[in-house]
Amino acid sequence: MSEVKLSASSRSNFGKGAARQARRDGLVPGVIYGHGTAPKHVDVEGHGLMMALKTPNVLLSLDIAGDGTELVIPKAVQRHPVKRTLTHVDFLIVKKGEKVVVEVPVVTEGDLAAGGNLLETLLTAVSVEAEATHIPTEITVSIEGLEAGATVHASDLKLPAGTTLAVDGETAVLQVVAPQAEEPAAEAEGETEGAEA
């Protein structure tokens, strides 16, 4: 995974007013923490951060004006409930070669066996442990030809080299269920009423 470089600046003003002003200036307030260091409050360029966060667990190199560079991953992202714009991001400091536990999205490919079966997604993402600089963006699982009753467990997922599961291998991720036969409820009620009459 390549690093995305973003510019940032240290933030000394706190509170809602300062945060609103930062967002008006096209910046996103954030906090950098980890590795036993005191939390650093920063403002990060908004557009670049929004684009970078389209990639799950993106590795960011924050160039903090006058305060060096920090290698981080986004740990908690807050968005405006209606506009969906970024309002605050927590960043976790990582070191090259260090392992981190992250949630990686599960993506399916292929088609189920014929017969109108349905795929039920039990987990949209799976916890894995991976090197901070080699976090997979997604885990692809083939559902080709799966029939009703089939279950894909975490242990069935093919993980990239250097990535291990951080959940029980028996955890169900996907399952295939037979289509539900629709009950002719209205007809049944009509028949009952006729019998009573």
Dist CA 156 CA 106 (whole Å)? 12
Helices (H), 1-96: 16-24, 46-52
- Indicate whether 195 pLDDT > 70: no
- Indicate whether 194 pLDDT > 60: no
Asked if 47 and 54 count as a contact pair (C-beta separation under 8 A), the reply is: no
According to DSSP, residue 66 is labeled: T
- Indicate whether 170 pLDDT > 90: yes
**What is the largest distance, in Å, between two alpha-carbon atoms of the chain?**
88
pLDDT for position 94: 93
Query: Is 196 in a helix, a strand, or coil?
Result: helix
Among all chains, which residue has been given the structure tokens 């600089």?
A: 133
pTM of the entire predicted model: 0.73
pLDDT per residue over 15-64, tens digit each? 677 777 787 888 999 999 998 889 999 999 999 999 999 988 899 999 99
Q: Which of 53, 97, 42 is nearest to 75 (CA)?
A: 53
According to DSSP, residue 182 is labeled: P
